[in-house]
């Protein structure tokens, strides 16, 4: 792995390093050591984990060449070893891992986390009561979507402040090139707007892709939209 420069991120050529780099759980751990050298106990506090849990993961990052021990501070009883990331940014070329592999890795990990949160939500009041389910219906735009609803017609949104903060759904929209670019910019701006907020962790997923020539949505052409 080449040394880091100010203008360019450190280039990753090792498959071991690339495997860790495309896993958000590992990169978030590595991120705790990017801004400054830290001991394991200090990093564990910032991450909200135990030192026992973090120690073997630090060792793995160190063996992979992504973390390095940069200082040993004397202390009564036992010296504290400080670690720092070997770079402030990393570049992983698609010649090492394919775009599809990176996408699958990230989606699988975060989808599992989202599904766990979804299951927890529907195991608590008011959704643990009988009568909740989902309605499949055709939207005004022509897509068929799912909407969480109670069998008496009460919708998720009707719960007001009692409704958990959660959005789930895949939406098919038909856009011209300029509208697609505008939507892309809006989604990026929305994430940036809240990216520096402080509070409880929420998982936010934003997906937008041109599926015009991708098999699987042949039935969902713009011509299926209802007449107005």
30 Cβ contact partners less than 8 Å away, ≥ 6 residues apart: 20, 61, 66, 67, 85
Q: What is the 8-class DSSP label of residue 142?
A: S
Q: What is the CATH number of the domain that holds 28?
A: 1.10.10.10
Q: What angle do CA 108, 112, 113 make, to 5 degrees?
A: 120
pLDDT digits (tens, 9 = 90+) for 55-111: 999 999 999 999 999 999 887 777 899 999 999 999 999 989 888 888 787 777 778
The pLDDT value recorded for residue 137 is 79
The pLDDT value recorded for residue 5 is 41
- Domain end point (choices 31, 57, 91): 91
Distance CA 108, CA 46 (A): 26
Domains contained in the chain, number: 2
Burial of 21 (0-12, 13-18, 19+ CB in 10 A): buried
The whole model's pTM is what? 0.62
202 and 103 inside one domain: yes
122 and 87 inside one domain: no
Is 4 inside any structural domain?
Answer: no
Q: How many CB atoms lie within 10 A of CB 101?
A: 14
Token pair for 67: 């973390």
pLDDT digits (tens, 9 = 90+) for 178-203: 999 999 999 999 999 999 998 888 88
The pLDDT value recorded for residue 184 is 95
């Amino acid at each position: 792995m080449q040394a880091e420069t100010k203008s360019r991120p450190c280039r990753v050529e090792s498959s071991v390093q690339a495997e860790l780099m495309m896993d958000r759980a590992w990169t978030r751990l590595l991120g705790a050591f990017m801004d400054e050298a830290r001991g394991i106990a200090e990093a564990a506090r910032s991450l909200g984990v135990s030192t026992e849990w973090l120690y073997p993961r630090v060792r793995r990052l160190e063996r992979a060449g992504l973390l390095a021990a940069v200082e040993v501070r004397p202390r009564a009883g036992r010296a504290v070893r400080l670690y720092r990331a070997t770079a402030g940014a990393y570049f992983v070329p698609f010649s090492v891992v394919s775009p599809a592999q990176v996408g699958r890795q990230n989606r699988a990990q975060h989808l599992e986390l989202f599904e766990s949160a979804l299951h927890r939500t529907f195991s608590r009041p008011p959704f643990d009561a009988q009568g909740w389910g989902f309605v499949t219906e055709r939207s005004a735009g022509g897509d068929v979507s799912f909407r969480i609803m109670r069998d008496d017609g009460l919708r998720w949104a009707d719960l007001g402040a009692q409704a958990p903060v959660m959005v789930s759904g895949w939406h098919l929209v038909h856009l011209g090139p300029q509208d697609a670019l505008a939507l892309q910019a809006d989604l990026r701006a929305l994430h940036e707007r809240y990216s520096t907020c402080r509070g409880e962790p929420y998982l936010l997923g934003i997906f937008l892709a041109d599926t015009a020539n991708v098999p699987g949505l042949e039935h969902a052409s713009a011509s299926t939209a209802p007449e107005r």
